[in-house]
Structure 1
Amino acid sequence: MSQAFEHLDPSTLQQWLGEQRPLQLVDIRDPLSFAQGHIPGSRHLDNTSVAELVEKTPSDMPLVVVCYHGHSSQQAAAWLAGQGFGEVYSLDGGFVDWAHRHPDHVLKP
C-alpha cells in the first residue's frame, strides 16, 4: 500500500502561497511554539481541535501539515489522509527549516 500523503518541499510551498493556491496549513507544534511564530494562514492543530478540522474542512481541500522538523507531521499527515482527505502533504524540514529559509514568511506576535 502506498503512503496516503506526499512530501512537500519548502520552495514548492512558497510558490503555492505566492500563487494563493487554496490550501489549509495545519501546525501540530505545541501551542507556545505556534504562538511565538508560524507560517501565515496556519491553524494550530491539537487533540482538541482536530475533530473540528475533520468535520468542517472539505475533503478536497489540500492540507499541509507542519511540525518542528518534518518528522511527526508525516504521522499526522498519514492519519489525516486516513480520515478521507484526498490531498495531504507533510512539509519537509518542518517549521524550523521554513523559518530559516523564509524568515519573511513567519508570522510573529
Structure 2
Amino acid sequence: MTTFRHLDIPTLQAWLDDGRALALVDIRDPMSFAQGHIPASRRLDNDSVGAFLDETPAERPVVVVCYHGHSSQQAAAWLAGQGLAEVYSLDGGFTEWQLRHPDRVER
C-alpha cells in the first residue's frame, strides 16, 4: 500500500527555492486560504480533487498543507491511495510556515 511521508518546513522551503516541480495543495477552508497561503499552492476540496487528480502526473511530488499538519495526514494518505507516487504532509502546517516565513505568504 502506498502511503505518504512527512515533510518539514525547511525542506519545503529548499524545494521551492530550487524551483522543484511539485504540486502544493492546501485543504484549509476558503476564507483561511484567501487570508493567506503558501505561494503557488492551490486550494483543494471535495469539489476540486477530481480535476486535480486528472491534471497531476502520478510521478509529481504532492505536498498537502492544512492548519497544523494533522488533517493533511489523512488527505495525504487518501491521495497516495489514488495512485500518486510521492505524497507529503507538511509538518506544522500553514500556521508554522507563516510563523517562520511571514514574508512568504500570498494573500
TM-score (norm 2): 0.97
Matches within 5 A, 1:17-32: 17-32=16-31
3-state secondary structure, aligned to 1:90: strand
Structure 2 residue runs without a partner (length 5+): none
Matches within 5 A, 1:1-109: 4-108=3-107
Partners of 1:8 and 1:105 in 2: how far apart? 18
Q: CA deviation at 1:63?
A: 0.3
Q: CA deviation at 1:104?
A: 1.0
**Runs of 4+ that moved beyond 2 A:** none
- Counterpart amino acid of 1:4? T
- Counterpart amino acid of 1:58? P
Partners of 1:69 and 1:84 in 2: how far apart? 25
Q: CA deviation at 1:55?
A: 1.2
Structure 1 residue runs without a partner (length 5+): none
- Counterpart amino acid of 1:88? V
Q: CA deviation at 1:16?
A: 0.4
Partners of 1:103 and 1:61 in 2: how far apart? 27
Partners of 1:21 and 1:85 in 2: how far apart? 17
- Counterpart amino acid of 1:32? M
Question: What is the total number of aligned residue pairs between the two structures?
Answer: 107
Aligned-residue CA RMSD (Å): 0.9
Partners of 2:104 and 2:23 in 1: how far apart? 16
Partners of 2:64 and 2:29 in 1: how far apart? 13
- Counterpart amino acid of 1:82? G
